[in-house]
Structure 1
Amino acid sequence: MRIKKGLTGLMVGALMLGLLAGCVGKNETNGGDNGGGAAGGKVKLTMWGAVPPENGPQEVVDTWNAEHPDIQVEYVRFVNDDDGNLKLDTALSTGQNVDLYVNYTLTNLDKRIKGGTALDLGEFTDYNIDEKMGEDAASWKVDGKYYGMPTKKNAAFFALNMKALDQAGLSVPKAWTWDEAREYALKLKTAGFKYGLVQHTASYVDPLDSVLVKNGYVKADGSSNLDDPLVTKWLETLNGMMKEDATTPPLGEQLTSKMPVENMFLGGESAMINIGEWLIRTSNNMTEFPRDWKIAFAPVPRLAAQEADMVKSGGLGDFIAINSKSKNKEAAWEFLKWYADGGMMPMAAGGRLPSSNVVDQQTAIDHLLGDYADSYDKESLEFVLYGDETPTFVRSIAQEVVDLRAQEYEKFFLGNQTAEVTVQNMVKRHNDWLKQNQ
């Protein structure tokens, strides 16, 4: 009996040692929940973003990983559309490996804050976001707090065919109105272009928001301000360019053809395009879009007559949050600081300019233009990126309001209702929404 009892004890002991060894092995190999540590005590972080890896993110993480052997980062791409954001939200809510992730709209950020998956960065005191990123960073605050860090300088501008401007005797504007832009488009179209101006449909509404950010989406009495006179001015100006001047594509044609407006500008079919810094990723592709003319840049026109009344789309973007459920918040914070203060520089070639003031602006522009700097008017580019002091906004209204406006102004541009009825419908639907969301 003693021998049997002793053997049983040995067997139990061996079994316990095996279980303990298995647990240690698992922790060292898989790092526990949410990435954890890799073999040898390394920390593994996973960052989710919408930019294709080959357009900068892979070079960024490769550089970090070479310099920080104890903290290794993996980049996971999601597409910045409804399906892609749902994929990210599902990963966040189900505890999949997400340590850092990029938010591209305030609407998505707000949803993730309410879902408890965005860390309040106020717990870190060694980096002042307001000082590093400037006053535009405050657009991303929620209830006075930063649940992430804006890292990219947004830039909305008109890109112009400089050769066409010279031939038409037109200068590169530094401040102008939509009435003046309409005149430019007409003169440039008559100079031999199919269109004077093209733009993505997403850019249509920027002038509308420029007005409403300045004058308020809601009046003092709590009712909708979508009947601001400049709203009608915007509708009638763009509609006149579509139908009277034929200097910009009709909305119906643009929607049905899924018009590649960047290709049209770079291919010489349009003399101007309303766009942003991402254009340069395509315009540097001289294989597909060879050109013998320079691209110049101008601020987006204003609707108001007075320059002081202008607020433009822009601000800061690529708002990177740390998952509040991450097991490696401190490591993620170290990576985020490094990324924002210059580690993200390889992203500049794809149009993502760092917003941190410790990054040299000229270096960023050099990365942006690459080998084709001579094909751009650098003076006007530097002005729209860094010299134009017009206040900027990041659209922060609810998606429901964005949608209801679009549904109404699309009816107008498609010829199904008048400008007056369009404004009335937007106001009514906005007022109904305001009552439901008091």
Structure 2
Amino acid sequence: MLKKWVFSFGIASLLAGLLSACGGGTNNEPAAKPQGSGAPASGSASAPAAAPVTLKLHMWYNVQQDNWDAVFKAFNQKYPNIKVEAVTAGDNNSTEYLKKLDLAAASGDQIDVMMFSSATYYAQRVGLNMMEPLDSYIAKDGYKVSDEYLIDPAIGGKTYGLPGKKVTFFVMLNKDHLDEAKLPIPKDWTWDEFMDYAKKLTKGEGANKRYGTFFYIFPTYNIMALANQMDDPNLVKSDGSSNMDNPLIRKSLEIRKQMEQIDKSAFPYAETASQKLNYRPLYFSQKTSMLLTGDYMIPEAGGTDKVPATFKSVFAPYPKVNKSDPTTTTAGSDMLSVFARSAHKQEAYQFIRWYTTEGIQLQGKYLSSWKKADLNKIIDNLIGGTKTPDMVDKESLLATMKNSIPQKLYIPPAYQDEADKAYASEVDKFNLGEQDLETTLKNAKKKVEEVIQKNSKK
């Protein structure tokens, strides 16, 4: 019976891994004794099991580069009978990691803790029954996820993971270019103002041209004006219906056309796609003045050995549609989950709870989703860990982080990748100037709704 389960589970997982490319016995030991609603993980566990346990954490991060050795050492000092070992290629490629994770699950390899870089990947594997529900552990620890964390990752009323690294989107700007154009650091701005800045920051012609901004090939950049909305910020609404009639999808495409094809204040999409341009070298070589990006760029803002920073970076909130709108930002996080077939579920939960509270702060590499984390200290650690800390403007960064309101976490359907690709197949033609806006919206709507309809029958 177990072999049959592993085989069926493996096939389904491998299929999911291919789609997303954009175990031992069970242990139902109850969770630790409650320590009160405000207690972090280190105080939430009873005495560790007598026998030593080694957990396997599957992820994509580089252990040394991202200071995971310090995390594992600190956890083991707190819980001497529990060790954590990373299973990772260390290449920071989260999509390739998913293929390896699915293969490991299909092969029956030891998996105790899994990480997911997006809600899409998290939701897909919840649908495959890969994760242990954590509600009983959380209840016995005596806290509510929504009280403790900025992001509540519940799906269908159940919690299958806890949020670690918080991802906030903002605009990163070259201070020298702003000063040259006599532009102030934006503290609250609209998309129209963002476009005006890009025009004023664009300079030169031909090979020496400097563009005001750059949009990468990620799906988010095709729904820019929609992506930071508080409700239904995606192609598919939270109730599973189509969001393709949302006027902000039209607005997003109008922004790209205006900037890439008319104002020519953003890198042409044709160059970005054909030359596989990357935002990091373009920004640090000063070929572009602004980046709409995420806080994963903070540790790089002061430069690295490979890509040094020769100018100061300042920060501004994610642009909004109307001046009267709240200053919101997309809500994202790395999710940490316990594998459903782990033989060490209690210990795996202990690590997840500890890491998402205390551990991530001492790691000093990421912003935390824990509401009680010391943001000022974390920012200091992030800036201090860069190659040239003086090149990072703490004041504008801290103000942006404090004043940006995280949207509600959108848990996408398991077929989100399929919907994104259907939409992108039409938007690519529009971004290349090969198809007009009305045709693009019409065809994209039809394709996305066909994906929804097909999957709703399953």
Q: Please say whether Structure 1 and Structure 2 have the same fold, judged by a TM-score greater than 0.5.
A: yes
SS state at 1:185 partner: helix
Whole-angstrom distance in 2 between the partners of 1:334 and 1:43 = 12
Matching residue of 2:62: 52
CA contact (8 A) 1:104 1:318 kept: yes
Matching residue of 1:6: none
Give the Å deviation of 1:244.
Answer: 1.8
Evaluate the alpha carbon distance shift between residue 405 and residue 40 of structure 1 in structure 2; reply closer, same or farther with a 3 A threshold.
same
Evaluate the alpha carbon distance shift between residue 40 and residue 153 of structure 1 in structure 2; reply closer, same or farther with a 3 A threshold.
closer
Aligned partner of 2:265 among 215, 227, 247: 247
Whole-angstrom distance in 2 between the partners of 1:80 and 1:289 = 19
Q: Which one-letter code corresponds to 1:117 in the other structure?
A: M
Superposed, 1:229-248 pairs within 5 Å as: 229-248=247-266
CA contact (8 A) 1:266 1:289 kept: yes
Gaps of at least 5 residues in structure 2 are 1-22, 28-48
Whole-angstrom distance in 2 between the partners of 1:178 and 1:195 = 17
Superposed, 1:408-419 pairs within 5 Å as: 408-419=426-437
SS state at 2:364 partner: helix
Aligned partner of 2:188 among 175, 197, 201: 175
Q: Which one-letter code corresponds to 1:331 in the other structure?
A: E
SS state at 2:202 partner: helix
SS state at 2:370 partner: coil
CA contact (8 A) 2:57 2:85 kept: yes
Matching residue of 2:36: none
Evaluate the alpha carbon distance shift between residue 390 and residue 158 of structure 1 in structure 2; reply closer, same or farther with a 3 A threshold.
same
Aligned partner of 1:361 among 350, 375, 388: 375
Superposed, 1:357-436 pairs within 5 Å as: 357-370=371-384, 372-389=388-405, 391=407, 393-394=409-410, 396-397=412-413, 398-436=416-454
CA contact (8 A) 1:58 1:75 kept: no
Identity %: 28
Matching residue of 2:168: 155
CA contact (8 A) 2:60 2:94 kept: no
1:73 aligns with 2:91: no
Of Structure 1 and Structure 2, which has the larger fraction of its residues in helix?
1
Whole-angstrom distance in 1 between the partners of 2:148 and 2:198 = 39
Whole-angstrom distance in 2 between the partners of 1:188 and 1:295 = 15
Give the Å deviation of 1:345.
Answer: 2.7
Gaps of at least 5 residues in structure 1 are 1-31
- Count of residue pairs the alignment pairs up: 398
TM-score, normalised relative to structure 1: 0.82
Alpha-carbon displacement from aligned partner over 1:292-335 (angstroms, at most 9, x marks no partner):
43211111212x2244276532x241100011211111111211
Alpha-carbon displacement from aligned partner over 1:31-76 (angstroms, at most 9, x marks no partner):
x94799xx98211111111111122223211332344321111011
Evaluate the alpha carbon distance shift between residue 106 and residue 222 of structure 1 in structure 2; reply closer, same or farther with a 3 A threshold.
closer
CA contact (8 A) 1:157 1:276 kept: yes
Give the Å deviation of 1:94.
Answer: 3.5
CA contact (8 A) 2:301 2:391 kept: no
Aligned partner of 2:134 among 100, 121, 129: 121
Evaluate the alpha carbon distance shift between residue 402 and residue 69 of structure 1 in structure 2; reply closer, same or farther with a 3 A threshold.
same
Aligned partner of 2:284 among 239, 259, 266: 266
Q: Which one-letter code corresponds to 1:60 in the other structure?
A: V
Whole-angstrom distance in 1 between the partners of 2:63 and 2:273 = 29
Report the RMSD for the aligned CA atoms in angstroms.
2.9
Give the Å deviation of 1:77.
Answer: 1.1
Give the Å deviation of 1:392.
Answer: 5.1
Superposed, 1:277-426 pairs within 5 Å as: 277-302=295-320, 304-308=321-325, 311-313=328-330, 315-349=331-365, 352-370=366-384, 372-389=388-405, 391=407, 393-394=409-410, 396-397=412-413, 398-426=416-444
CA contact (8 A) 2:165 2:360 kept: no
CA contact (8 A) 2:329 2:405 kept: no
Give the Å deviation of 1:170.
Answer: 0.9
Whole-angstrom distance in 2 between the partners of 1:213 and 1:433 = 24
Whole-angstrom distance in 1 between the partners of 2:381 and 2:409 = 26
Give the Å deviation of 1:121.
Answer: 0.5
CA contact (8 A) 2:56 2:113 kept: yes
